[in-house]
Amino acid sequence: MVFSSAVFLWLFLPIVFVVNYFLRPKYSNIWLVAASLLFYAWGEPVLVLLMLVSILVNWLTGLGIQKFPGRKTAVLLLGLAFDLCSLGYYKYAGFFAETLNSILGREAVPVPEIALPIGISFFTFQAISYIADVYRGDTEAQPRLINTALYISFFPQLIAGPIVKYREINRQIESRRITVDGIGIGFRRFIYGLSKKVLVSNTLGYCADTIYGLNFEMVSTPMAWIAAISYTFQIYYDFSGYSDMAIGLGQMFGFQIPENFNYPYLSRTIGEFWRRWHISLGSWFREYVYIPLGGNRKGKLRTYLNLFVVFFCTGLWHGASFSFIFWGLYHGFFSILERLGLKKVMEKYRVVGWLYCFAVVHFGWVFFRIDGIRNAWAYIKKMIMPWSYAQADTFLWDYIDNRAVFVMVCAVLGAGLIQAAAPKKLSGKWKGSVAEAACCVILLVLCLASIATDTYNPFIYFQF
């Protein structure tokens, strides 16, 4: 089930919200766990068993760490082994088998066909952060199974984040208040996120998929640029829109879920980009991988090695392919360059820094989107060295219409340019105003109309 589906908007959400509103907190947790498991099982009824086992194992691991302090390291390792093995089996077993067979030049290991549980990377990382925080003494183990289940399975951020640390939300699980103001703020945030997804991301995604779906010989240089730009903004509006919806839903149910995006395309360095893009993932890797490895406390070479490991893991986390690994290391390469001195230059010359960062990120998304590093290189080469290819005689306007152009212009302006230029007083007056309410009503009507008439509705980050 996706947030932008008619079933969710007209049936699931209204029922879950109305019933929850009239329940006392201790019953609310039970109700939300049941709703979350139904939400997850809607598309994967069998794999919900994995979710239930994960909840039970991590709950017992947390209790074991606290009850047996002398053996807490062994208990932690057992819990980590379960989480990482589950993630490795479902997400990477096929990739590892194919890689080994490729190295050996024969099918030494059968390649398993395993259905990937939606959102396994997200809820597994949440589970790991819980037992790691209990181990470090940053939080106490949760004695109630239902509360641990709610933390791991809460449907607003279950399958595409943000990745929430247990200590950020444990008190809200125990006790929270649902207010009319909070519901209003959450509902508006949800509408903005839904609009990003349905009205912007879907339009740009259809354009990108259409061009990328053509034979390479049919793609001209302008078409390659349009496809790349469309995807650059599609993935931002897709993922940030989902995060907005998750945060808005959380507020409607009394939870404060951390922000996950802060206009990343305004960044002037790659380091800044990763402080603005998928903030919860960057924070997770920094806290549970980078700092435990030594961070920047053990000399420059060790710092660069730690960055290499983090970005390797970041790429691998996104998908089981060398394209994703390359994409992660690509970002790591520029992060290290910035630490070697490039950062000072880019921060000094703001426009140059912005152009540099956007170009790096933009071309990086080509590797992220296209299957195969060589294929991605070919597209980039056609974009920046068109004379190396015979230009196709296909007509760009056969694959992009006026609506797509209009949406693309709005996407560029709305990715931070308008927000950065708008006076703070104006933005303050806008929030909660009659004009904003009217705007939200219009956006909601447009979204519902689009959902009712359009069958194209993918979520990019569901595959992770």
pLDDT digits (tens, 9 = 90+) for 305-357: 999 999 999 999 998 899 999 999 999 999 999 999 888 888 888 899 999 99
Task: Return the minimum-mean-pLDDT range out of 10-19, 159-168, 283-292, 361-370.
Answer: 159-168
Statement: residue 236 has pLDDT above 70 = yes
Contact present, 196 and 261 (Cβ < 8 Å): no
pLDDT for the residue 116: 84
Mean of the pLDDT values across residues 95-121? Answer: 86
- Report pLDDT digits (tens) over 186-225: 999 999 999 999 999 999 999 999 999 888 888 888 889 9
Statement: residue 143 has pLDDT above 90 = yes
Look up residue 259 and give its amino acid: E
Burial class (CB in 10 A: 0-12, 13-18, 19+), 88: middle
The CA distance from 392 to 217, in Å, is: 6
pLDDT for the residue 432: 77
Statement: residue 464 has pLDDT above 70 = no
The predicted model scores a pTM of 0.92
Contact present, 307 and 336 (Cβ < 8 Å): yes
Average pLDDT in the chain: 90
| Structural tokens at position 442 | 């219009």
Catalytic residue among 278, 318, 331, 362: 318
Which DSSP symbol is given to 140? P
Q: Which carries the bigger pLDDT value, residue 390 or residue 183?
A: 183
pLDDT for the residue 267: 94
Q: How many CB atoms lie within 10 A of CB 206?
A: 18
Per-residue DSSP letters for 29-53?
A: HHHHHHHHHHHHHTT-TTTHHHHHH
Give the residue among 346, 166, 323 at the shortest CA–CA distance from 270: 346
Give the residue among 368, 369, 163, 418 at the shortest CA–CA distance from 265: 418
- What SS3 state is found at 109? coil
Statement: residue 242 has pLDDT above 90 = yes
pLDDT for the residue 293: 92
pLDDT for the residue 462: 64
Burial class (CB in 10 A: 0-12, 13-18, 19+), 428: exposed
The CA distance from 421 to 427, in Å, is: 10
pLDDT for the residue 75: 95
Q: How many CB atoms lie within 10 A of CB 319?
A: 20
pLDDT for the residue 29: 94
Contact present, 180 and 432 (Cβ < 8 Å): no
Task: Return the minimum-mean-pLDDT range out of 197-211, 249-263, 395-409.
Answer: 395-409
- Helical ranges in 196-220 per DSSP H: 202-212
Residue owning tokens 């995807």: 231
| Structural tokens at position 43 | 């598309």
pLDDT for the residue 346: 86
pLDDT for the residue 235: 95
Mean of the pLDDT values across residues 420-427? Answer: 74
The CA distance from 194 to 162, in Å, is: 16
The CA distance from 239 to 204, in Å, is: 13
Mean of the pLDDT values across residues 43-52? Answer: 86
- 45, 164, 249, 256, 416 from 280: Cα distances, Å: 28, 7, 17, 14, 20
> Assign residue 119 a region: left if phi > 0, alpha if psi is -120 to 50, beta otherwise?
left
pLDDT band at 297 (very low <50, low <70, confident <90, very high): confident
- 49, 271, 372 from 308: Cα distances, Å: 35, 13, 21
State what percent of residues in the chain have pLDDT above 90: 66
Statement: residue 463 has pLDDT above 70 = no
> Assign residue 111 a region: left if phi > 0, alpha if psi is -120 to 50, beta otherwise?
beta
Mean of the pLDDT values across residues 404-430? Answer: 83
Statement: residue 113 has pLDDT above 90 = no
Statement: residue 397 has pLDDT above 90 = no
The CA distance from 464 to 458, in Å, is: 13
Statement: residue 427 has pLDDT above 90 = no
pLDDT band at 15 (very low <50, low <70, confident <90, very high): very high
Q: Is 318 a catalytic residue?
A: yes
